[in-house]
Structure 1
Amino acid sequence: MDIRQLKYFLMIAEEGQITSAAKKLQMAQPPLSQQLKLLEEELGVKLVERGPRSIRLTDAGEILRRRAQQIVDLTDSTSREVSDFAKGLKGTLTIGTVSSSGATLLKDRLSEFHKTYTGIKFEIHEGNTFRVIELLQSGVIELGIVRTPFHNAGIGYKYAESEPMIAVMTPELDWSGGRDAIGIDELRERPLVIYRRFEQLIRETCQKSGFEPNLFCKNDDARTTLLWANAGLGIGIIPKSAFELANHSNLIYKEIDSPSLQTRVAAIWIKDRYMSSLARKFLESFSKE
Structure 2
Amino acid sequence: MELFQLRYFLAVAEQLSFTRAAKTLHLSQPPLSHQIKRLEDELGGELFQRSSRLVRLTDLGEAFLPRARSILLQTDDAAKEIRARTGLEKGVVRVGASGSLAYHLLPLLVVKYRELYPNIDLQIVEHRTPQLLDAAERHEIDVALIRLPHDKTKLSITVLRDEALMAAVPGSHPLASEAMVSLRQLADEPFILISNRGEPFHNLVLHLCARQSFQPNIICSGTEYATACRLVGLGVGVSILAEMGTKHHVDPAPVFVRIDDEKAVSPIGLLSRPFEELSQPARAFFSLATSLGKQL
Please state which band the TM-score falls in when normalised by the shorter chain: 0.5 to 0.7
Structure 1 position 281 matched with structure 2 position 284? yes
Alignment partner for residue 262 of structure 2, among 250, 259, 262? Answer: 259
Larger Rg: 1
The Cα shift of 1:144 comes to 1.4
Measured after TM superposition, the shift of residue 138 of structure 1 is 1.3
CA shift for structure 1 position 226 = 2.4
Q: Which amino acid aligns with 1:240?
A: E
Q: Which residue of structure 2 lines up, in the alignment, with residue 204 of structure 1?
A: 207
Q: Distance in 2 between matches of 1:217 and 1:85?
A: 52
Gaps of 5+ in 1: 1-83
Give the Cα–Cα distance (whole angstroms) in 2 for the partners of residues 119 and 137 of structure 1: 27
The answer to whether the 8 Å contact 1:230/1:251 transfers is yes
Aligned pair count reads: 205
Q: Is the 8 A contact 1:168 1:229 kept in 2?
A: yes
Superposed displacement of residue 141, structure 1: 1.1
Q: Distance in 2 between matches of 1:144 and 1:259?
A: 26
Asked whether the equivalents of residues 137 and 155 of structure 2 are also in contact (C-alpha less than 8 Å), the reply is no
Structure 1 distance, partners of 2:153, 2:95, is 19
TM-score w.r.t. length of structure 2: 0.62
Counterpart selection for 1:232 from 235, 257, 279: 235
Contact 1:180 1:255 in 2 (8 A): yes
User: Offset of 1:87 from its aligned partner?
Assistant: 4.8
Q: Tell me the residue number matched to 2:188.
A: 189
Aligned to 1:127: 127
2:208 counterpart letter in structure 1: T
Query: 1:164-217 CA deviation, whole Å, 9 max, x = no partner?
Result: 1111233122x2262332122211201111122333322232222222222222
CA distance in 2, matches of 1:138, 1:177: 45
Runs of 4+ in 1 over 4 A off after TM superposition: 84-87
- What do you get for the CA RMSD once the two structures are aligned? 2.5
Q: Which digits, 9 at most, give the CA deviation of each residue in 1:211-241, with x for residues without a partner?
A: 2222222225434422422332111211111
Match of 1:77 in 2: none
Asked if 1:242 is matched to 2:245, the reply is yes
CA shift, 1:249, in A, is 5.8
Which residue identity is paired with 2:121?
Answer: K
Distance (whole Å) between structure 2 residues aligned to residue 220 and residue 130 of structure 1: 15
After TM superposition, the structure 1 = structure 2 runs for residues 66-85 of structure 1, keeping only pairs within 5 Å, are none
Tell me the distance in 1 between the aligned counterparts of 2:204 and 2:138.
Answer: 29
1:213 aligned onto 2:212: no
8 Å CA contact retained: 2:229, 2:250: no
Cα deviations by residue, 1:38-78 (Å, 9 ceiling, x for unpaired):
xxxxxxxxxxxxxxxxxxxxxxxxxxxxxxxxxxxxxxxxx
Could you tell me which runs of 5 or more consecutive residues in structure 2 were left unpaired when the two chains were aligned. 1-83
Aligned to 1:176: 175
* Deviations 1:142-182 (CA, angstroms, capped at 9, x unpaired): 11111112235311122222111111233122x22623321
1:135-174 matches, within 5 Å, as 135-173=135-173
